Amino acid sequence: MKNILFYLFSLSILFISSCNQDPNKITIEGHITNPVSGELIFNLPDTSYETRVDANGNFKITLNQDSAQYVTLIHGERTRMFIKPGDNIEVYFDTKEFDETMTYKNSPESSYLAYKLISAEEKDFYGESLYIAELASYKLDLENYKTNLMQRLDRFENSYFKRTEEKSINASIERYLKRKESFSDRTKEELLYLWETSKLSKEYNFYALLSTLNRVEFDENLIEYEKRMNIALEPLKKLNDYEKERAKITKIVASWRERKDDYDNMPNDGDMSIDFSYPNISSEMISLSSFRGRLVYVDVWATWCGPCIAEIPSLERLQKDYENMDIVFLSVSVDTDKEAWEKMLTEDQLGGVQLWADGWSQITKSYAIFGIPRFMLVDKSGELIAVDAPRPSSNEIRTMIDERI
C-alpha cells in the first residue's frame, strides 16, 4: 500500500512540475572566449534581447517565444541562429575566430547554419574559381555544394526551417551562377586581371587602413597599390578598354586620398558637431542645429541597407521609451531613390524626424561615413558625445542617453 501511495505521490509531483513549465521558454547559455564587451544581443524580427557577459565570459538568457524563428546573435560580429519554444541551447565561440569557432549544443538547426556559413567561405564561389574555372566545372561545384547542403537539410523536421533554407540555398546558387555567366564574353586576359584586382582589394583593406595608418603611411600604400594594379593591367595593353581601366585605377586612388582627408578632418567626440540641412517628406529644410537644447540621436541609413533595416525595431522602441523627453531621433537617408524612401516612411509609419540626403553628400563627407548604418549622439549644446555611437539594439546607447537627458 505504501508503495502505491508513494508512486501516486511521485506522479502528482511530476504532473505539477510539467504544468508549471512554460512551453514557450527558451534558454540560451554558454561561454565567450576573448569577449569584446560585457553584453550579448539577440535580435529577432520584432524584438531584441540583451544579456550580460560576466568577467569569465559566461552568459545565460531566457527568451519567451511562441514560435520557431531565426535570431541574430551579436557580439562584435554577428551570426544567425534558429530557436524553437522549449529549446535549451548552449553556445560557445572565440571572438578572434568568430565564425570558425561558433559551436552549438542542443540546436542542430543552428549548427547547420554555422556549417553552411563556413562551407560557403571555404568554397569561395566569388573567389578564384569565379574568374578562372570553366563554366561547366563551376556549375558542377555548385551542384555538389547544393547536394551536400540539401542532404543535411533533409534530416530536420521543422518545415518552416527546411522551406526557408531550401529557398536560401537556391537563391545563393542562382546569384553565384548569374555572376559567373556575366563573365562569359570576357577574354582569359581580362578574367586574370579581374582576379588580380580582386586579390589586391582584399590585400589592401583601405577601410581598415584609414584608422590604423598615418597620412604618410597611407599614401605609401596607395602608391604601391596603384603600381601593382597597373602591372596587373599591362597584359591588356592592346585592348580597347586599356586606357579606360587606367583612368579607373587613377580615380580609385584619388577617391581613397579624399576619404583619408575626410577621416583625418572629421570631428571627434567632444568637438562641436558639423551642421547639416536636408528636406523632410514635406520638402521643409531641417538642420541639425535647429534642435539645440535637446539631445539628438542621428541615424544615417538607407532603405536598401539590410543592417539599417534590422535596427529599425530597436530604434522605434528607443523612441517610444524616451517619448516626451528632451531627445530628438533624427534619421537621415542616403537613398538616391526618393520614391523608395517616401514609400517606406509612409507604409512603415516610421517615427522621429526623417530627412532625405539624396545620396552620399555633405553629412557623409563631414563625418567620414563610408558605411551605414552610422549612429551619432549630439548633446544639448551641439557637442558630439559620440561620433560613432552604439546602435539602438545595444543597451549602451540607453546608458549614454540616461546620463545626459
Taking residues 124-138, report their average pLDDT: 94
Give me the helices (H) in 234-305, please.
242-265
DSSP conformation letters of 177-219: HHHHHTTTT--HHHHHHHHHHHHHHHHS-HHHHHHHS-HHHHH
**Exposed/middle/buried for residue 332 (C-beta within 10 Å: 0-12, 13-18, 19+):** buried
How many Cβ atoms are within 10 Å of 93's Cβ, its own excluded?
Answer: 25
* CA distances in angstroms from 179 to 172, 176, 183, listed in the order given: 11, 5, 7
CB 306 within 8 A of CB 300: no
Tell me how far apart the alpha carbons of residues 67 and 85 are, in angstroms, rounded to a whole number: 6
- CA pair distance 195, 172, nearest whole angstrom: 21
Give the pLDDT of residue 12. Answer: 53
- Looking at residue 21, its pLDDT comes to 61
Contact 106, 29 (CB under 8 A): no
CA 189 to CA 234: how far, in whole Å?
A: 10
- Please report the pLDDT score of residue 19 as a whole number: 45
What pLDDT is recorded for position 155?
Answer: 93
Cα 234 to Cα 118: distance, rounded to the nearest angstrom: 36
- In this structure, are residues 43 and 58 in contact, taking their beta carbons and an 8 Å threshold? no
If pLDDT is split at 50, 70 and 90, which confidence band does 50 have?
confident
Using CA of residue 81, residue 202, residue 336, residue 298, what is the dihedral sign?
A: positive
The three-class DSSP label of residue 30 is strand
pLDDT of residue 68: 94
**273 in Cβ contact with 384 (< 8 Å):** yes
Is the predicted pLDDT of residue 363 greater than 90, yes or no?
yes
For 3-47, write each residue's pLDDT tens digit.
Answer: 555 554 555 544 444 444 678 899 999 999 999 888 898 988 777
CA dihedral 71, 389, 36, 47 (to 10 degrees): -20
Q: Is the peptide bond before 279 cis (omega within 30 degrees of 0)?
A: no
- Quote the pLDDT of residue 10: 52
Using CA atoms, how far apart are residues 317 and 394, in angstroms rounded to an integer?
A: 12
